Structure 1
Amino acid sequence: MSIFERLGQEQGIRAAVDDFYERVVGDPQLAHYFEDVDLRRLRAHQTALLVQVTGGPAVYSGRDLAVAHERLGITPEDFDRVVGHLVATLTSFGVSADDIGSVGEALLAHRDEIVTAPAPA
């Protein structure tokens, strides 16, 4: 069984993505990244991306991760904070530690494309 199936397929992933964005948008340290962002569209892209990387049938057609994040000036600290919210979301959805680790590995593989600002001094 693929991670996609264990996460509840597209419906389960969509629910997790909704919960995740509630967490990050509600985080005062991260909220500014989402000002003037079409969250409905962003959630749809994120869902498609996660469906694809977890073994599902969707094909992600969004922008390249580096291009999508380059103007945001994301710090290493904020990246880690977002990952923490993702782990909390997946944990609250009953996702196994092994599957959370696999999703985390996939994210960490793209850290250099997403983090575009140095850590604060």
Structure 2
Amino acid sequence: MSIYDSIGGAPAVHAAVDDFYARVLGDPKLAPYFTNVDMQRLKAHQRSFIAAAIGGSEIYAGRDMAAAHADLKISDEHFDAVVGHLVATLSGLGVPEETIGQIGAALAPLRSEIVTV
């Protein structure tokens, strides 16, 4: 069984993305990155990306991570804050620690594509 299926599929990913962005937008260090961003569009891309990354059948058709984040000047501190919000979101939704670790392992290699500062 894929991680996607084990956490509850599309409804769980949808709930996780909504909660995640509520946390990120509430973080004064991260909120400025999202000024003038179409959040509905971004959330749709994020749902597809996460679903595809954790074994769902969705196809992510957005830009690659390096291109999408190239001009944002993201630091390790900001990347770590985002990861922290993702872990808090998943924990809050009752995702088991082992599964959170698997999700983290799938997403961790993206640091080198996202961090530019």
Deviation at 1:44, TM superposition (A): 0.4
Aligned match of 1:9: 9
Q: Between the two proteins, what is the percent identity of the paired residues?
A: 53
Match of 1:36 in 2: 36
Instruction: Quote the offset at 1:106 in angstroms.
Output: 1.7
Per the alignment, residue 77 of structure 1 pairs with 77
Q: Does 1:103 align with 2:100?
A: no
Distance 2:63 2:10 in 1: 20
What displacement does 1:53 show? 1.2
- Which 4+ runs in 1 deviate beyond 2 A? none
- TM-score, normalised by the number of residues in structure 2: 0.97
Aligned length: 117
- Superposition CA RMSD, Å: 0.7
Question: Which residue pairs with 2:55 in the alignment?
Answer: 55
User: Which residue of structure 2 aligns with residue 66 of structure 1?
Assistant: 66
TM-aligned CA deviation for residue 103 of structure 1: 1.1
Q: Which amino acid aligns with 1:24?
A: V
CA deviation vs aligned residue, 1:52-82 (integer Å, no higher than 9, x gap): 1111110000001000001000010010000
**Whole-angstrom distance in 2 between the partners of 1:21 and 1:58:** 20
Residue 26 (str. 1) matches residue 30 (str. 2): no
Amino acid at match of 1:15: A
- The alpha carbon displacement at 1:32 in A equals 0.5
Structure 2 residues not aligned, in runs of 5+: none
Q: TM-score, normalised by structure 1?
A: 0.94
Contact 2:54 2:106 in 1 (8 A): no
1:27 aligned counterpart, secondary structure: coil
Q: CA deviation at 1:6?
A: 1.6
Shift of 1:101: 0.7
Query: SS state of the match for residue 109, structure 1?
Result: helix
The C-alpha deviation readout for 1:30-53, integer Å capped at 9, x for no partner, is 000101111101100010011111
For 2:28, give the aligned amino acid: P
